[in-house]
Amino acid sequence: MKKGIVFLFILGFSQIANAQQTIPNDTVHFEGEKHFKNIQQLTFGGDNAEAYWSNDSKHIVFQRSNTKEGVNCDQIFIGKVPQKLGDPFTYKMVSSGKGRTTCAYFMPDGKHIIYASTHEGGNDCPPVPDRAKYGNKYIWPLYNSYDIYMADLNGKIVKKLTTAKGYDAEATISYDGKKMIYCSDKDGDLDLYVMDLKTGKEKRITSALGYDGGAWFSPDGKKIVWRASRPTTEAAVKEYKELLSEGLVAPTNMEVWTANADGSDAKQITNWGQANWAPNFTHDSKKIIICSNHEYKRGFPFNMYMVDLDGKNMEKISRDKGFDAFPMISPDGKKIIFASNRNNGGTRDTNLFVADWID
């Protein structure tokens, strides 16, 4: 999820990184990024993130904000990815323009999307937390007006998928279109739920104290992967519970977990320290790409790393000096989309990049 993504994620972490980055090193393709070829920058300016493919590997849905364009908090856009290097990328807003939106995803039919929105709680952007009040920690607001909606590609909302009071967001869909996995605090903690979209019946699949979110199904439908921030010390538990009571969470320490698609056999696959998040499966379901700042004590850069399903055989696949995150390999395995601070002229802009994916 992108907060401020922007999280939400957009991007508190990336903005912190950019604020401290004094020497721009602008390029669209860094040395050592051997899995990328023919990189093309799709957006220019503002905060653009969480871009995810349609099942036909031709379109993306993403969230963006740009105060210069009057888009003051995240809204949802869709666009067709250029087929040839150098062709323009055009896109249109499909959310209402009201409230804050996040975490969009295509349905398999290519005719509908889901996303979370606060628009029923008010037309204006909801307020961001005063981080100075919390020691300038990175804080996410858990707006209780967030619910998850299904809309067509013209922006018409056709169904409201969640109705519980509280935070419901960070949803993705299984590749067969039958299940939705999302994060909610409806039972008093930030946990993952799997919903059967046909019946509306759902199951809570995490129960340990702490934040569990940003989950994905593997393309073969067998596994899920997600990020978790689990407080263990008495002080950490106290702080987590106090922030949660205020509708906030401070996930600066996260690790990546996997489980079977029904939540069974849950395993922590990273123990890297700091923030490890935005995990996603490769198109063949054999590996996972994780975003992390674990190499850097100062908290940035964030880069992307590829690992086996058990977290072993880590390979660094991106090398921007600020922020690389939100990867998704296209369903046909030919391209990767991701968000990055690269080539932004030393600004805080986070843009979208697409590249041919080289296994």
Whether the pLDDT of residue 203 is over 90: the answer is: yes
pTM of the model: 0.93
Instruction: Give residue 138's pLDDT.
Output: 86
Whether the pLDDT of residue 18 is over 70: the answer is: no
Whether the pLDDT of residue 139 is over 50: the answer is: yes
Q: Going from the N-terminus, what domains does the chain have, and what CATH number goes with each?
A: 12-357 (2.120.10.30)
pLDDT mean over 184-196: 98
Instruction: Give residue 23's pLDDT.
Output: 41
Predicted confidence (pLDDT) per residue in 35-70, tens digit = 999 999 999 999 999 999 999 999 999 999 999 999
The two tokens of residue 130 are: 């005063």
Omega before 301 within 30 of 0, i.e. cis: yes
Whether the pLDDT of residue 15 is over 90: the answer is: no
Whether the pLDDT of residue 299 is over 70: the answer is: yes
Provide Rg for the chain, Cα atoms. 18
Q: What residues have CB less than 8 Å from 233, skipping those under 6 apart?
A: none
pLDDT band at 358 (very low <50, low <70, confident <90, very high): very high
Whether the pLDDT of residue 240 is over 80: the answer is: yes
pLDDT band at 13 (very low <50, low <70, confident <90, very high): very low
CA 121 to centroid of chain Cα atoms: 22
State what percent of residues in the chain have pLDDT above 90: 88
Tell me how far apart the terminal alpha carbons of the chain are, to the nearest angstrom: 27
Per-position b or e across 190-212, b if 16+ CB within 10 A of its CB = bbbbbbebeeeebeebbeebbbb
CA–CA separation, 192 vs 182, rounded Å?
6
Judge whether 65 and 72 are in contact, CB under 8 Å: yes
Whether the pLDDT of residue 7 is over 50: the answer is: no
Whether the pLDDT of residue 6 is over 60: the answer is: no
Q: Are strands 255-260 and 223-229 parallel, antiparallel or unpaired?
A: antiparallel
Whether the pLDDT of residue 171 is over 70: the answer is: yes
C-alpha to C-alpha distances, 250 to 9, 48, 136, 321, nearest whole angstrom: 11, 22, 10, 24
DSSP structure string for 112-128:
EEEEEE-GGG-SSPPPP
CA–CA separation, 17 vs 146, rounded Å?
28
CA–CA separation, 210 vs 291, rounded Å?
20
pLDDT band at 26 (very low <50, low <70, confident <90, very high): confident
Residue 239 three-state SS: helix
pLDDT band at 137 (very low <50, low <70, confident <90, very high): confident
Judge whether 307 and 271 are in contact, CB under 8 Å: no
Locus of tokens 């628009």: 119
Judge whether 331 and 51 are in contact, CB under 8 Å: no
Predicted confidence (pLDDT) per residue in 326-336, tens digit = 999 999 999 99
Q: Which helix (H) or strand (E) holds 14?
A: helix 12-20
Predicted confidence (pLDDT) per residue in 105-132, tens digit = 999 999 999 999 999 999 999 999 998 9
Whether the pLDDT of residue 2 is over 50: the answer is: no
Q: What is the mean pLDDT of the chain?
A: 93
Q: What residues have CB less than 8 Å from 162, skipping those under 6 apart?
A: 147, 148, 168, 182, 184
Predicted confidence (pLDDT) per residue in 63-87, tens digit = 999 999 999 999 999 999 998 888 9
pLDDT mean over 164-184: 97
Which has the higher per-residue pLDDT, 207 or 17?
207
pLDDT mean over 270-282: 97
Judge whether 49 and 350 are in contact, CB under 8 Å: yes
Judge whether 193 and 200 are in contact, CB under 8 Å: no
pLDDT band at 25 (very low <50, low <70, confident <90, very high): low
Q: What residues have CB less than 8 Å from 113, skipping those under 6 apart?
A: 61, 76, 78, 94, 104, 105, 106, 107, 150, 151, 153
DSSP state of 350: B
Whether the pLDDT of residue 17 is over 50: the answer is: no
CA–CA separation, 229 vs 251, rounded Å?
6
What are the percentages of helix, strand and coil residues in the chain, rounded to 5?
10, 40, 50
Sign of the alpha-carbon dihedral angle for 78, 81, 86, 88: negative
